[in-house]
């Protein structure tokens, strides 16, 4: 086949690049170009087709990436006739370490993937109303920083974080900047804390139910997890657990908790601090949702109330600005910040400089607080929309929940019998997903719970998502299973 005969439209909106890729792929599929055939060089093809060299080069590369073409250095580009070396058998699975085999639960990654399909309304993933994000101002800030200090933005930076950002964060929570470590989202914070405080086999007490990412990361560090029911907040029980398991760390998310939305009261906070201080157990406070109150601010953080120097504080910009920025921070004693920085240098050296400088500026110029006010308004609207849509579309008494006062989630219990394992495939078939309850438990519980995020979807999506959830619930009921709906009280 003579490739110089290929025809291109310069007007119909499809790029020349796409047209070339498609034309070549068709020629190969239809046999015009046989396996093993050598293609003209990028330059020759560009000349004969009057295309730019970039277009032909990128087209060849795209087809290589699809496994259709193969470039042999010094020989040229060929239509693939032989399998790629990656298909040559090598027992890679047998090379995986025992350490890595502790990380085989793909729940977190799967949640990310479900969020990507545009046909599916995902109420599974947590995130703020990105529509409020000050995109224009953010662009301006990026531009200013890149203009004013390109070296600081693009060059190496200190492992602990950009000094300016550390100062701003320290000021916000009333500490010194050498007690702040900037991390790549709260997830990295949890990972570093687990490495810093926990050896394989050590016990860690976590909320029950608990933020999924914490469960997975602590498990990957080899921790034995013990759940403590944060809603019941029975401190006698916690003391028993401490005595029995001798935990190396307690992890809690006491304010608009993920997934339950629950907030510990002031008295409970003081008693909790007193207890862990008595047993000298480090208390990791995940304060991700504090600024996202809807009806009224939460009580002071454990850190603010800590008279014993026993709290390590963790927060993130994922829920207050944007998750895609991947930036969070830890406040802790200098000894711990120093050790965490030592671990971070080996993990990713330091967090991206430009993002850090941009967030420091967002904090400094008041844009952060302004965005919080907008988010609170919008999230309140969305919470109300989800609750009323659930009331409207979900069969009576099929779900029970507590109206959240902040955070991002509606934590629901299915009526007796119905499991999310049965409901989720139905929901997916209807075009919506939620987060299944089991992933939030470090034991075998949660089969009848589900988490709906009300912040990251707009009102229309929340309504349509609820309608689809309602249909899925009806479908489960109609399937005539033994799991008929019945009244439940949480």
Residues 240-299 that bind a copy of itself (CB under 8 A): 248, 280, 282
Choosing from 41, 47, 175, 458, the residue that interacts with a copy of itself (CB under 8 A) is 175
Compute the distance between CA of residue 429 and CA of residue 45 in angstroms, rounded to an integer. Answer: 46
Interface region with a copy of itself, contact rule CB under 8 A, candidates 339-347, 384-392, 413-421, 476-484: 339-347
Minimum Å gap between C-beta 257 and a copy of itself is 19
Of 103-132, which residues contact a copy of itself (CB under 8 A)? 103-106, 108-109, 112-113, 115-116, 125, 127, 130
Reference 343, options 166, 177, 169, 160; nearest CA is 160
Figure out which of the listed residues 81, 342, 421, 479 binds a copy of itself, where binding follows CB under 8 A: 342
**Which run of H or E residues covers position 47?**
helix 42-49
* Residue 95 CB-density burial (10 A; 0-12 exposed, 13-18 middle, 19+ buried): exposed
Kindly state whether residue 33 participates in binding a copy of itself, applying the rule CB under 8 A. Answer: no
In the window 309-338, what residues touch a copy of itself (CB under 8 A)? 309-310, 321-326, 332-336
Rounded to an integer, what distance in angstroms lies between the CA atom of residue 166 and that of residue 160?
A: 8
**Residue 177 contacts a copy of itself per CB under 8 A:** yes
For the record, the structure tokens of 30 come out as 């239809």
Of residues 34-63, which lie at the interface with a copy of itself (CB under 8 A)?
Answer: 54, 58, 61-62
Query: Could you tell me whether strands 435-436 and 449-453 are parallel, antiparallel, or unpaired per DSSP bridges?
Result: antiparallel
Nearer to a copy of itself (CB atom), residue 197 or residue 412: 197
Say whether residue 75 binds a copy of itself (CB under 8 A).
no
Residue 135 sits in the site that holds a copy of itself (CB under 8 A): yes
**SS3 label, residue 187:** helix
Peptide bond into 176 cis (omega under 30): no
Residues 367-406 that bind a copy of itself (CB under 8 A): none
Q: Does 353 bind a copy of itself (CB under 8 A)?
A: yes
Q: Based on CB atoms, which residue is closest to a copy of itself, 58 or 388?
A: 58
Q: What are phi and psi of 419, to 5 degrees?
A: -110, 155
Rounded distance, CA 451 to CA 27, Å?
49
Q: Which residue's CB is nearer to a copy of itself, number 222 or number 395?
A: 222
Q: Note whether 288 and 319 are within 8 A (CB).
A: yes
Stretch binding a copy of itself (CB under 8 A), from 4-12, 84-92, 251-259, 470-478: 84-92
Residue 78's SS3 state is strand
Nearest Cα residue to 450 out of 426, 478, 482 = 426
Structure letter (DSSP) for residue 295: S
Number of amino acids touching a copy of itself (CB under 8 A): 125
Site string for a copy of itself, 181-200 (x = CB under 8 A): ---xx-xx--x---xxxxxx
Site for a copy of itself in 427-466 (CB under 8 A): 456
Residue among 42, 120, 138, 415 that touches a copy of itself (CB under 8 A): 138
Neighbours of 274 (CB within 10 A): 13
Window 140-169: residues binding a copy of itself (CB under 8 A): 142-143, 146-147, 150-159, 167-168
The CA R_g of the chain, rounded to the nearest whole Å, is: 27
The residues with which 401 forms a beta bridge, in sequence order, are 412
């Amino acid at each position: 086949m003579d490739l110089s005969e290929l025809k291109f439209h310069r007007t119909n909106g499809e790029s020349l690049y796409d047209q070339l890729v498609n034309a070549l792929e068709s020629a190969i599929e239809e046999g015009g170009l046989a396996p093993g055939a050598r293609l003209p060089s990028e330059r020759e093809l560009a000349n004969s087709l009057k295309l730019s060299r970039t277009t032909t080069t990128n087209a060849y590369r795209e087809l290589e990436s699809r496994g259709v073409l193969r470039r042999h250095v010094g020989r040229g580009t060929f239509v693939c006739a032989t399998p790629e070396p990656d298909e040559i058998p090598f027992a890679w699975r047998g090379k995986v370490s025992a350490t890595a085999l502790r990380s085989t639960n793909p729940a977190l990654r799967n949640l990310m993937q479900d969020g990507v399909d545009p046909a599916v309304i995902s109420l599974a993933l947590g995130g703020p109303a990105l529509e409020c994000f000050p995109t224009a101002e953010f662009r301006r800030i990026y531009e200013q920083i890149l203009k004013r200090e390109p070296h600081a933005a693009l060059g190496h930076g200190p492992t602990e974080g950009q000094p300016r950002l550390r100062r701003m964060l320290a000021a916000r929570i009333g500490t010194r900047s050498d007690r702040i470590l900037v991390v790549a989202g709260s997830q990295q914070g949890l990972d570093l804390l687990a490495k810093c405080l926990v050896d394989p086999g050590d016990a860690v007490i976590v909320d029950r139910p608990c933020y999924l990412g914490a469960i997975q990361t602590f498990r990957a560090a080899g921790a034995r997890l013990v759940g403590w029911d944060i809603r019941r907040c029975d401190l006698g029980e916690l003391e028993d657990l401490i005595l029995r398991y001798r935990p190396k760390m307690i992890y809690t998310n006491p304010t608009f908790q993920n997934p339950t939305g629950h907030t510990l009261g002031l008295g409970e906070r003081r008693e909790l601090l007193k207890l862990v201080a008595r047993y000298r157990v480090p208390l990791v406070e995940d304060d991700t949702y504090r600024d996202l109150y809807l009806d009224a601010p939460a009580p002071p953080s454990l850190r603010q109330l800590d008279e014993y120097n026993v709290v390590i504080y963790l927060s993130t910009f994922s829920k207050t600005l944007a998750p895609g920025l991947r930036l969070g921070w830890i406040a802790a004693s200098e000894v711990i910040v120093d050790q965490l920085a030592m671990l971070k240098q080996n993990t990713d050296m330091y967090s991206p400089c430009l993002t850090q400088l941009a967030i420091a500026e967002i904090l400094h110029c008041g844009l952060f607080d302004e965005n919080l006010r907008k988010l609170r308004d919008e999230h309140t609207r969305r919470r109300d929309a989800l609750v009323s849509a659930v009331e409207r579309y979900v069969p009576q008494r099929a779900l029970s929940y507590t109206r959240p006062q902040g955070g991002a989630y509606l934590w629901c219990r299915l009526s007796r019998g119905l499991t999310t394992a049965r409901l989720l495939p139905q929901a997916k078939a209807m075009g919506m997903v939620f987060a299944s309850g089991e992933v939030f438990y470090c034991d075998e519980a949660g089969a009848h719970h589900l988490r709906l995020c009300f912040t990251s979807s707009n009102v229309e999506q929340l309504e349509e998502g609820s309608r689809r959830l309602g249909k899925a619930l009806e479908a489960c009921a109609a399937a005539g299973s033994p799991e008929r709906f019945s009244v439940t009280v949480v």
